[in-house]
Structure 1
Amino acid sequence: MINKVGQIMLYVNNQDEAVRFWTEIVGFIIISEENNDQGMRWIEIAPSKDAETTLILHNKDFVAKMEPGLNLGTPSLMFFTDDLDQLYQHLIKQKIKVGQVVSIPGGRVFNFADFEDHYFAVMEKGNN
């Protein structure tokens, strides 16, 4: 039986810019980087070295040629933070597109876009 989400694949046009966004702007770290010497390169990133779920950055064009029927759309991801206001202000200072902070059942949330206009959400859970 499945017991956790291990990796989430993100298909991007520019892997180097995606790495820069996630590491320099958002604060993720590189867990590993692989290249099979046949043009397939992937970079595993995460918010910390002990994160249970990681993101894998794949080259969208390369994967599309290898697996033409694969859905290469951006998954709808919700990240969690302990300090939504600090993250929000940090992203604004970095000139990242952010949505308004809104309250929803369970906490406050806003969305943000990477350099390729893929949107993600981040939530600070409320005290229950």
Structure 2
Amino acid sequence: MINSLALISFLTDDYDKAIRWFQTALGFVLLEDTDMENGKRWVRMAPHPTAETAFLIAKAVGEQVDYIGRQAGGRVGHFLFTDDFDGMLARMQNAGVTFREAPRNEPYGKVVVFEDLHGNPWDLMQPTKT
């Protein structure tokens, strides 16, 4: 049996705002945007077209709205790996992304904590080659 992680839900209050942020700030591609009627859409985004795992952009409703920006309870919940840390950092700075710290070198790689459009903390990381 082979299993894979296909989708991770990303809560937002606005599909189009989230799509623009992922495209502009992170360079993600829009894989799918299907109208599901009644204001719902099936929106998938990923770092590149052949990525194994993608985000399902989910418009929060009801009590879900309370969790926008708090999806991981204040901890870093998403880890974006890159092979060009400095280039990605520059792209994100140019897009106005908020960083919680200066980039640092750790035994596992170069890393910086940033916030997505709703304030969720993420790590941008270039892993150390072993």
Identity over aligned pairs, percent: 23
Determine if contact 1:15/1:58 at 8 Å carries over to the other structure: yes
Matched, 1:118 2:120: yes
- What is the match of residue 7 of structure 2? 7
Distance of aligned partners of 1:2 and 1:119 in 2 relative to their CA distance in 1, 3 Å threshold? farther
Partner SS, residue 92 of structure 1: helix
Whichever residue aligns with residue 113 of structure 1, its letter is: E
Determine if contact 1:18/1:114 at 8 Å carries over to the other structure: no
Q: 1:63: Cα distance to partner?
A: 7.9
Aligned 1:58-69 pairs, distance under 5 A: 58-61=58-61, 64=64
Q: 1:96: Cα distance to partner?
A: 1.1
CA RMSD of aligned residues (A): 2.1
Q: How many residues were matched structurally?
A: 123
Partner SS, residue 49 of structure 2: coil
Choose 44-53 or 95-104, whichever is displaced more.
95-104
Give the TM-score taking structure 2 as reference length. 0.83
- Structure 2 gaps, min length 5: none
- Whichever structure has more strand as a proportion of its residues is 2
Q: 1:12: Cα distance to partner?
A: 0.6
- What is the match of residue 88 of structure 2? 87
Determine if contact 2:80/2:124 at 8 Å carries over to the other structure: yes
- Structure 1 gaps, min length 5: 66-70
- What is the match of residue 74 of structure 1? 71
Partner SS, residue 89 of structure 2: helix
Whichever residue aligns with residue 35 of structure 1, its letter is: D
Determine if contact 1:29/1:47 at 8 Å carries over to the other structure: yes
Q: 1:89: Cα distance to partner?
A: 1.7
Determine if contact 2:36/2:42 at 8 Å carries over to the other structure: no
